[in-house]
């Protein structure tokens, strides 16, 4: 069943100060023929999608891509300029933590106030009041005006109220980054529970890790339009790839100076996944294939494809060349060849990598036939499912590589 259905939602804003802000401006505006054309901006343009019951949808995009506008329209804070949408079920929307909190009111008063603002019934708040207080860890300060709270306490209380909102459709804007690490974890767990409890959730975040963790499906907005929509892993990798400006494929025939030597020339270098699809972003657990296509123009040389992996700090991580295939010892005849090197999953750390591609000969003389720096690049991300080398650790992990190694611990 489709819970949310949006058809051609568009929102136009008038830009700049052209909108009259005082009565005088209105009056002068009436007499002065509109000399300047009004600057307009489509914050959202013909956005259509639907979300079915129990689906968790992540919204991704740059600042200004239209995510907030879309949330505001779905939350009925602002109206679309054109298009329509319908949402069935009680909608709870959380665009900010602690909306309506007032410094002069006590924690207790703010819980009721904020609950009412979020659309909770008095009885509901009463019912979950103890839970809210326990979750927020501020029992002792319940009857103190929140102006005396530390900012951490304030955010904890605010999030706790929000976390106990119990709608059928939940719309959440980036609100998870509150409090200390422990509280953040608690919030994430709570959010995941919400997603798993069968409620329909729309979630906006800049943090790809939390999007992949909380959502099954994602939509990318760019300049107010949907540019991709699909399973979260695909969409996120595609987005990250575009974001990082990585170039997962390079076709040399297209370039004015084809890279070639007397005996060999590159046709194509690309990064592929296990299904031979060109891809720029990889789940840390997946193997990464580097495929080189090259044309041999003279017979009889032993040509070895060679790759250098460079990370984003420009650390040369490793060099690999073909030592295993039959061609590592055998001269190649004229023709086109494809060599693929497989970098195993759970080896590289997260981040961006570039590859220098080369074709070399070691026998009889050492010779570099072709060498292209930064031929292709890709990105590695950790969806934080708990089975990578990270385990359940969510913080920053340093290191050039991140292998999963065997651990042995015995009590002696």
Partner 1 sequence: MTESKEITYIKPGGAIAALDLAEIWRYRELLYFLTLRDIKLRYKQTLIGVAWAVLQPILTTAIFTVIFSNFARFDTGAIAYPLFALSGLIIWLFVHTSVSFASSSFVSNANLVTKVYFPRLIVPIAATFGTLFDLVFGVIILIGMMFYFGVAVTSQILLAPLFVVLGILVAVTFGTLFSALNVRFRDVKFALPFLLQVWMIASPIFYPTSLLSEKWRLVFALNPLTGVIEGFRSALFGSAFDWTLIGVSVGSLLFFMLISLVVFKSMEDSFADVI
Contacts (Cβ under 8 Å, ≥6 apart) of 159: 97, 98, 136, 175, 178, 179, 183, 187
Q: How far is the CB of 52 from partner 1 (least distance, A)?
A: 12
How many alpha carbons lie under 13 Å from residue 296 in its C-beta half-sphere? Answer: 21
Rounded Cα distance, 282 and 231, in Å: 14
Q: How far is the CB of 23 from partner 1 (least distance, A)?
A: 5
In terms of CB distance, is 122 or 148 closer to partner 1?
Answer: 122
Rounded Cα distance, 335 and 152, in Å: 66
In terms of CB distance, is 157 or 310 closer to partner 1?
Answer: 157
Rounded Cα distance, 377 and 281, in Å: 9
Q: How far is the CB of 372 from partner 1 (least distance, A)?
A: 51
- Please, are residues 291 and 269 in contact by the beta-carbon 8 Å criterion? yes
Rounded Cα distance, 209 and 412, in Å: 39
Q: How far is the CB of 42 from partner 1 (least distance, A)?
A: 14
Q: How far is the CB of 226 from partner 1 (least distance, A)?
A: 17
In terms of CB distance, is 30 or 276 closer to partner 1?
Answer: 30
CA distances (Å), 234 to each of 130, 282, 350, in order? 41, 9, 17
CA distances (Å), 24 to each of 30, 31, 197, in order? 10, 11, 55
Q: How far is the CB of 112 from partner 1 (least distance, A)?
A: 6
Task: List the one residue out of 273, 302, 304 whose CA is nearest residue 290.
Answer: 273
Rounded Cα distance, 237 and 233, in Å: 6
In terms of CB distance, is 34 or 79 closer to partner 1?
Answer: 79
Rounded Cα distance, 135 and 129, in Å: 10
In terms of CB distance, is 7 or 137 closer to partner 1?
Answer: 7
Give the residues lining the site for partner 1 (CB under 8 A). 1, 6, 9, 13, 19-24, 26, 72-91, 93, 95-96, 99-100, 102, 104-105, 109, 112-113, 116-119, 121-122, 168
Which DSSP helix (H) or strand (E) runs through 110? helix 107-117
In terms of CB distance, is 26 or 32 closer to partner 1?
Answer: 26
In terms of CB distance, is 86 or 319 closer to partner 1?
Answer: 86
In terms of CB distance, is 109 or 249 closer to partner 1?
Answer: 109
Q: How far is the CB of 81 from partner 1 (least distance, A)?
A: 6
Q: How far is the CB of 310 from partner 1 (least distance, A)?
A: 45
């Amino acid at each position: 069943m489709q819970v949310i259905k949006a058809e051609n939602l568009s929102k136009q804003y008038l830009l700049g100060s052209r909108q009259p802000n005082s009565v005088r401006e209105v009056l002068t505006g009436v007499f002065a023929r509109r000399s300047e054309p009004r600057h307009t901006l489509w914050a959202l343009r013909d956005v259509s999608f639907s979300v079915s019951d129990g689906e968790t949808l992540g919204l991704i995009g740059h600042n200004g891509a239209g995510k907030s506008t879309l949330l505001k329209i779905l939350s009925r804070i602002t109206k679309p300029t054109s298009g329509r949408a319908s949402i069935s079920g009680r909608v709870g929307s959380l665009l900010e933590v602690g909306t309506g909190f007032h410094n002069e009111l006590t924690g207790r008063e703010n819980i009721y106030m904020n609950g009412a603002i979020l659309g909770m019934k008095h009885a509901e708040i009463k019912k979950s009041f103890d839970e809210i207080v326990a979750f927020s860890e501020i029992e002792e300060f319940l009857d103190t005006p929140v102006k005396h709270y530390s900012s951490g306490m304030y955010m904890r209380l605010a999030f706790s109220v929000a976390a106990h909102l119990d709608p059928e459709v939940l719309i959440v804007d980036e609100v998870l980054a509150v409090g200390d690490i422990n509280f953040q974890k608690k919030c994430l767990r709570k959010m995941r529970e919400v997603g798993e409890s069968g409620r329909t959730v729309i979630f906006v975040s800049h943090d790809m890790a939390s999007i992949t963790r909380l959502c099954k499906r994602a939509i990318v907005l760019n300049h107010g339009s949907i540019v991709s929509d699909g399973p979260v892993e695909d969409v996120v990798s595609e987005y990250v790839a575009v974001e990082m400006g990585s170039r997962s494929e390079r076709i040399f025939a297209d370039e004015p100076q084809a890279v070639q030597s007397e005996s060999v020339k590159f046709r194509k270098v690309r990064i592929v996944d296990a299904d031979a699809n060109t891809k720029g972003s990889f789940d840390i657990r997946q193997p990464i294939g580097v495929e080189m296509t090259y044309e041999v123009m003279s017979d009889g040389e032993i040509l070895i494809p060679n790759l250098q992996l460079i990370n984003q700090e420009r650390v040369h991580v490793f060099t690999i060349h073909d030592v295993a295939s039959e061609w590592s010892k055998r001269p190649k005849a004229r023709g086109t060849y494809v060599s693929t090197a497989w970098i195993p999953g759970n080896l590289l750390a997260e981040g961006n990598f570039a590859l220098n591609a080369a074709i070399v000969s070691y026998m009889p003389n050492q010779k570099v036939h072709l060498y292209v720096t930064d031929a292709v690049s890709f990105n590695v991300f950790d969806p934080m499912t708990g089975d990578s080398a990270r385990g359940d650790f969510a913080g920053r992990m340093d290191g050039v590589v991140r292998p999963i190694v065997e651990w042995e611990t015995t009590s002696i």
